[in-house]
Chain A
Amino acid sequence: ELKVEQNPLFLSMQEGKNYTIYCNYSTTSDRLYWYRQDPGKSLESLFVLLSNGAVKQEGRLMASLDTKARLSTLHITAAVHDLSATYFCAVNNAGNMLTFGGGTRLMVKP
């Protein structure tokens, strides 16, 4: 059974600081996704990582995938308040099913 764990579960950080969210998963998978969810809203796709060593960047967010270590990271550079949200990683299971991590709630303080 595929298990996906994120840490930390909650992250409070100052604007301008850097930090990394980690996503570990338990079985081999070839696809990993990152999503963002604002409070009371739906989930929005951020990144799709399809191969070992894949790196994607959008603004202040950069995601990477190490399939051998079964680890993905979401790095935040010089955080701003607008990045406050909950971030989920999701790993492809059999077929097109995704198993989600528990989420990391990020709060960026001025």
Chain B
Amino acid sequence: DAEITQSPRHKITETGRQVTLACHQTWNHNNMFWYRQDLGHGLRLIHYSYGVHDTNKGEVSDGYSVSRSNTEDLPLTLESAASSQTSVYFCASSETGNSPLHFGNGTRLTVT
């Protein structure tokens, strides 16, 4: 079955370190998204991509970057981790059009 996999599931890092969260999907979807989930804020869009070599900033993109070198992967990099980036991060993908998002299981990131 097709799926979307995030790794690691849990990560603890120190302030100032660079961190990369992985997202891999086997749906062959062109659209991929990164969201962060925080209490009181729901899910907020960080970055998104509509295809290989395409990346776009979302609502809360400062301090984050993504790259899309193939259809399957959209890694999320925190250039210099800050305590404000402690959150649960969800990757999602969708077909073009009206289809809903398929979400990964999330990565819980703690920045100390």
Task: Please report A residues at the B interface, Cβ cutoff 8 Å.
Answer: 4, 31, 33, 35, 41-45, 48, 50, 88, 90, 95-103
One of B35, B41, B99 near A102 (C-beta < 8 A): B41
Minimum CB–CB distance from B48 to chain A (whole Å) comes to 6
A42 touches B106 (CB 8 A): yes
With A43-B90, A103-B42 as contacts: A48 and B105 at CB distance below 8 Å: no
Q: Which residues of B contact A31 (CB under 8 A)?
A: 98
With A45-B101, A50-B98 as contacts: A100 and B31 at CB distance below 8 Å: no
1/0 per position for B65-96, CB-CB distance to A under 8 A?
A: 00000000000000000000000001010101
B91 nearest CB neighbor, chain A only:
A42
A97 touches B48 (CB 8 A): yes
Q: Which residues of B contact A33 (CB under 8 A)?
A: 100-101
Task: Please report B residues at the A interface, Cβ cutoff 8 Å.
Answer: 31, 33, 35, 40-45, 48, 50, 58-59, 90, 92, 94, 96-106
Q: Which residues of A contact B42 (CB under 8 A)?
A: 4, 88, 100-103
Q: Which residues of B contact A100 (CB under 8 A)?
A: 35, 42-44
A48 touches B90 (CB 8 A): no
A1 nearest CB neighbor, chain B only:
B59
B96 touches A96 (CB 8 A): yes
Q: Which residues of B contact A41 (CB under 8 A)?
A: 105
Q: Which residues of B contact A35 (CB under 8 A)?
A: 100-101
A96 touches B90 (CB 8 A): no
A42 touches B45 (CB 8 A): no
One of A42, A96, A101, A102 near B103 (C-beta < 8 A): A42
Identify which of A45, A48, A88 gathers the most chain B CB atoms within 10 Å of its CB: A45
